[in-house]
């Protein structure tokens, strides 16, 4: 069975991850979280919607806007992609010597600091 996530680009996977982690989003909110312009996010959402990975529904607070939601199919594809990446990374880390793994362990704190900054 082919991993459908292999056909997704990083922007698509990232938008899906935001929806998984943060829940339904207005198109403008999703664009802001992804740091892209709304027209770019519209293209990403359109492509994901065509594949059945996201769906749009009216915003109950403002029916002029729509919320983007991750579908069950989208959730499955995203989680399969994460498992594949985790397995790949685990194999690479296992191939490092103990000193190299310790360097990575210490680097985690620095990377977390950069990510929060």
**Residue 1 pLDDT more than 60?**
no
The distance in angstroms from the start CA to the end CA of the chain is 40
Q: How far is CA 44 from CA 39, 40, 50, 58, 59, in A?
A: 9, 6, 10, 18, 19
Are 59 and 67 spatial neighbours (Cβ–Cβ below 8 Å)? yes
CA distance 15 to 17: 5
The DSSP call for residue 61 is: S
Q: Which domains does the chain have, with CATH numbers?
A: 4-116 (1.10.10.10)
47-103 tens-digit pLDDT: 999 999 999 999 889 888 899 999 999 999 999 999 999 999 999 999 999 999 999
Strand partners, 70: 54
**What residues contact 80, with CB distance under 8 A and at least 6 apart?**
3, 4, 5
Model pLDDT, residue 7: 87
Q: Is the pLDDT of residue 116 over 90?
A: no
């Amino acid at each position: 069975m082919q991993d459908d996530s292999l056909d997704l680009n990083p922007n698509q996977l990232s938008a899906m991850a935001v929806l998984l982690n943060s829940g339904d989003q207005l198109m403008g909110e999703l664009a802001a979280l992804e740091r892209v312009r709304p027209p770019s996010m519209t293209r990403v959402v359109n492509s994901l919607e065509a594949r059945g990975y996201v769906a749009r529904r009216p915003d109950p607070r403002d029916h002029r806007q729509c919320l983007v939601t991750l579908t069950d199919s989208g959730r499955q594809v995203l989680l399969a992609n994460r498992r594949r990446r985790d397995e790949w990374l685990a194999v690479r880390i296992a191939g490092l010597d103990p000193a190299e793994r310790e360097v990575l362990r210490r680097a985690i704190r620095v990377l977390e600091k950069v990510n929060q900054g």
